[in-house]
Structure 1
Amino acid sequence: MTLQASNITALITGANRGIGKAITEGLLDAGAVKVYTAVRDLASVRQLVQKYGERVVPIEFDLSREETIQNAVKVAGDVNLVVSNAGVVKLSTPLDDDAVESFKYQMEGNVYPLINLAKAFGPVLKSNGGGVFVQMNSLASIKNFLPFTGYSGSKAAAYAVTQGLREAWVEQGTQVISVIAGPIKTDMADSAGMGEGAPPASIVFDGIMKALTTGDFFVYPDEMAREVAKIYAPFAKSVLEIES
């Protein structure tokens, strides 16, 4: 299935702020049919509902609660685009006293939810013609940056899972997109000290829309990511056998 904005029905986790909100608004402004905004607090997307009306469908969604996952699958059974965006970050080095606890927290926030989301919505995408699954990864997936060791470790694991999904879903025709982003201007980036001078979250939406047209696995949305891609992309093509 080739997705264009006008035939997209999407579910986006963490749609109430940052990159998730920018993707939500980008899709709706481009003419998407509907966006299910999967968030813990339904009130946090009230402004989106006021702006876009019935094309925004808030869903209470917490990947640590199985009942919200199953409810989302029932409600959003018509989706052909799923964006796994929600995540956590906590500063830590490998030698900190709380290094293990920090890593565990970020694995539970960045990796296990990805797996649960994919297991829940993979069959939905298949039944709707294959569709697209987008995972928000990071330059930290391929390079550790102190003091983000726990975050880098969890994002490296998420990136590995994303590669696995790409292979697992070949037969059902689901395009998998891995967004390898540098610092993007979001509240989370600001709180981690990475937001100053960072590009706007809207560039991630632009990169995803381009990948829908080209069929690419990788999206390098910002200048820092594209500089790294000049070196990393040949490695990915040769060693991982992934073209972009």
Structure 2
Amino acid sequence: MRIDGSVALVTGANRGIGRAITEALLKCGSTKVYAGARDPKTLEPLREHHGSRLVPVRLDVTDAVQVAEVVGQATDIDLLVNNAGAFEPTELTDQAIIEVARREMEVNYFGVLRMVRGFADTLGRRGGVIVNICSVAGLTNVPLQPTYSASKAAQNSLTQAARALLAAQAVSVYGVYPGPVDTDMTKDLPAEFEKTSPGDIAKAMLAGIEAGEEDIFPDAFSAAFGEQFHSSPKNAERQMAAIVAASA
């Protein structure tokens, strides 16, 4: 797929990786980007800068009514970027861990499922593209983020299912697996986790899509970890546990 001339929708577009992706799409020639956020007012700076090419939409991916409204509005997209995510610091012994896990799953898994289901026909008519912003934590659990990692593992599995099931409609499905990114989510991670800027993640993601890479590892940490995982999932698990132990 070529980004130049595309019409895209990005969830969670008001900050972090989502904002960087939105800006990168417009810089690379997308004719229109629907930018989704729970509060569209947070998208005003982007709209003022990019004008009519940036279309703010109210979108909470946990709200089926809002998802349906956006599906009815964004009928011209050929690129869907499922970026909206949820993370809450928690430990296995926390009393609230079940509630935390449910909230993370509602956004990171069920939210993506709603969007994929909702836009499957629209994208199928155009031979479009779905991009899920996953995480290396979905390949091997990061014990410092146990429930978040589990929700990203579910998202990774959904990505694989969508790739197989939507292929008959000529819809391409990409998974993006960043390591630690310099956002609010990672502010408490130990120094052993090297962080990458959201802008660099967005740039590498778009390059991977245009190159046809189904699984995109967009930074040095994730690229090295991806090689380790594909070589030996058990060694990757031990590597992540060792990093956590060393930082304790």
User: Is the TM value for this pair above 0.5?
Assistant: yes
Indicate which of 189, 209, 214 corresponds to 1:212. Answer: 209
Range with greater deviation from structure 2 (87-96 or 73-82)? 87-96
- Give the whole-Å Cα distance in 1 for the aligned partners of 2:13 and 2:190: 21
Which residue of structure 2 aligns with residue 39 of structure 1? 37
Structure 2-normalised TM-score? 0.88
Which residue of structure 1 aligns with residue 164 of structure 2? 167
CA contact (8 A) 2:194 2:221 kept: no
Q: Which amino acid aligns with 2:155?
A: A
- Give the whole-Å Cα distance in 1 for the aligned partners of 2:154 and 2:226: 19
Structure 1 residues 235 and 115, CA gap change in structure 2 (3 angstroms): farther
Secondary structure at the residue paired with 1:82?
A: strand
- Give the whole-Å Cα distance in 1 for the aligned partners of 2:118 and 2:131: 14
1:98 aligns with 2:86: no
Indicate which of 113, 116, 119 corresponds to 1:118. Answer: 116
Which residue of structure 1 aligns with residue 178 of structure 2? 181
Task: Please report how far the alpha carbon of residue 105 of structure 1 lies from its aligned counterpart in structure 2 after TM superposition.
Answer: 1.7
- Give the whole-Å Cα distance in 2 for the aligned partners of 1:66 and 1:229: 34
Indicate which of 8, 17, 20 corresponds to 1:19. Answer: 17
Indicate which of 76, 79, 95 corresponds to 2:77. Answer: 79
Structure 1 residues 235 and 218, CA gap change in structure 2 (3 angstroms): farther
Task: Please report how far the alpha carbon of residue 235 of structure 1 lies from its aligned counterpart in structure 2 after TM superposition.
Answer: 6.6
Structure 1 residues 194 and 5, CA gap change in structure 2 (3 angstroms): farther
CA contact (8 A) 1:183 1:194 kept: no
Secondary structure at the residue paired with 1:6?
A: coil
Which residue of structure 1 aligns with residue 135 of structure 2? 138
- Give the whole-Å Cα distance in 2 for the aligned partners of 1:117 and 1:231: 31
Structure 1: where are the runs of 5+ without partners?
A: 237-244
Task: Please report how far the alpha carbon of residue 147 of structure 1 lies from its aligned counterpart in structure 2 after TM superposition.
Answer: 2.2
Which residue of structure 2 aligns with residue 7 of structure 1? 5
Secondary structure at the residue paired with 2:168?
A: coil
Structure 1-normalised TM-score? 0.89
- Give the whole-Å Cα distance in 2 for the aligned partners of 1:165 and 1:197: 31
Indicate which of 89, 103, 112 corresponds to 2:87. Answer: 89
Indicate which of 60, 63, 66 corresponds to 2:64. Answer: 66
Equivalent residues, number: 232
Q: Which amino acid aligns with 2:106?
A: E
Secondary structure at the residue paired with 1:184?
A: coil
CA contact (8 A) 1:81 1:125 kept: yes
| Structure 1 residues 81-106: Cα deviation after superposition (integer angstroms, max 9, x where no partner) | 00000111112233332222221121
- Give the whole-Å Cα distance in 2 for the aligned partners of 1:7 and 1:44: 26
Q: Give the structure with the higher percent helix.
A: 2
- Give the whole-Å Cα distance in 1 for the aligned partners of 2:185 and 2:61: 19
| Structure 1 residues 114-148: Cα deviation after superposition (integer angstroms, max 9, x where no partner) | 100000011110112x1110111111101122221
Range with greater deviation from structure 2 (101-110 or 28-37)? 101-110
What RMSD over aligned residues (CA atoms) do the two structures have, in Å?
Answer: 1.8
Task: Please report how far the alpha carbon of residue 175 of structure 1 lies from its aligned counterpart in structure 2 after TM superposition.
Answer: 1.1
